[in-house]
């Protein structure tokens, strides 16, 4: 599968003027996105990993913005989400399965990767980065799901004991989030139009994965090169700074909610990531912009 889903004009680069290309691709049975800049200047590749009830599409704006700065990127859609790797019983899928999915995507990429994980993707990405040091050069985490030493927010606990969530979580069935609950804990402060746009793309999640996030969270590993973003109004995981400290990451806090990339937050994320990557991997930028 290789379907073009978007073309965005790049700034004028003289004789190399083309277009940024965003395509839907496959990693074996998994699906995802690939975004190629007009002129690639960073000799590693970004790999985005989404959170619960989402797909790779949540990163489209971020990938396009990163491409405008010369970064090639991929985003993987985890199994059972959207049209990626259909499973017979999504409710029984585990976090270990998702780790395997990210590793599958990783081995389809020919260069070292920088894993960028949001929410649940933060946890999954950190684990994959620690287990694959030859393939992963660095890790960037956005508003991670709570780790073992981070209390789950009281708002989340109150909502997750509702029968519509608790029963499928305990029974290992698919879990679908209610829009009002999503607005309160993930999209707080986001305009209704933006909420509608992203909520319409959300998909069911594994009850077993939800259970592990509530009752069996991981102790995340220390990482050599890591950057973590927290949001000032994150209702799901308020203490992102402590999580960053535990994995040895530099911490940056920006305005926003748990869906930190919304309301043009992706522009701030990409700008800060660009500076951190150039500082951390200066010799990976061996291709200057062409002369105009």
pLDDT tens, residue by residue, 66-99: 999 999 999 999 999 999 999 999 999 999 999 9
User: pLDDT grade, residue 288 (50/70/90)?
Assistant: low
Is pLDDT larger for residue 155 or for residue 235? 235
Q: Residues 6 or more apart from 19 whose CB is under 8 A from it?
A: 7, 8, 9, 10, 38
**In CATH, which superfamily holds the domain spanning 3-280?**
Alpha/Beta hydrolase fold, catalytic domain (3.40.50.1820)
Q: In whole angstroms, what is the distance from residue 262 CA to residue 118 CA? A: 12
CB 234 within 8 A of CB 280: no
Q: How confident is the model at residue 291 (pLDDT cuts 50, 70, 90)?
A: very low
Would you say residue 252 has pLDDT above 80? yes
Least confident of 33-37, 144-148, 220-224: 144-148
Q: pLDDT (tens digit, 9 = 90+) per residue, 106-137?
A: 999 989 999 999 999 999 999 999 999 999 99
pLDDT of res. 287: 56
Of 165, 142, 172, 152, which is closest to residue 214 (Cα–Cα)?
152
- Model confidence at 2, pLDDT cuts 50, 70, 90, reads very low
Average pLDDT of span 253-270: 89
State both tokens at 164. 């519509």
């Amino acid at each position: 599968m290789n379907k073009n889903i978007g073309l965005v004009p790049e700034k004028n680069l003289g004789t190399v003027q083309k277009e940024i290309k965003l395509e839907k691709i496959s990693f074996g049975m998994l699906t995802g996105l690939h975004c190629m800049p007009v002129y690639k200047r960073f000799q590693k590749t970004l790999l985005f990993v989404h959170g619960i009830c989402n797909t790779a599409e949540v990163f489209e704006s971020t990938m396009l913005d990163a491409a405008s700065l010369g970064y090639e990127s991929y985003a993987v859609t985890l199994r059972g989400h959207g049209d990626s790797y259909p499973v017979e019983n999504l409710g029984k899928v585990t976090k270990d399965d998702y780790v395997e999915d990210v590793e599958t995507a990783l081995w389809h990429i020919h260069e070292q990767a920088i894993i960028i994980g949001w929410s649940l993707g933060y946890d999954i990405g950190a684990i994959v980065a620690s287990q694959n040091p030859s393939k992963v050069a660095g890790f960037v985490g956005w508003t991670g799901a709570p780790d073992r030493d981070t209390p789950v927010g009281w708002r989340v606990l109150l909502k997750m004991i509702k029968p519509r969530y608790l029963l499928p979580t305990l029974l290992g069935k698919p879990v679908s989030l209610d829009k009002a609950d999503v607005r309160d804990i993930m999209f707080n402060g986001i305009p209704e139009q933006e909420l509608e746009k992203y909520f319409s793309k959300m998909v069911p999640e594994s009850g077993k994965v939800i259970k592990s996030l509530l009752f069996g969270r991981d102790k995340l590993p220390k990482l050599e090169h890591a950057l973590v973003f927290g949001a000032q109004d994150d209702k799901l995981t308020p203490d992102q700074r402590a999580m960053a400290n535990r994995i040895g990451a530099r911490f940056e806090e920006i305005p926003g909610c748990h869906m930190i990339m919304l309301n043009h937050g992706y522009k701030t994320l990409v700008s800060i990531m660009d500076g951190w990557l150039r500082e951390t991997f200066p010799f990976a930028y061996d291709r200057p912009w062409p002369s105009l």
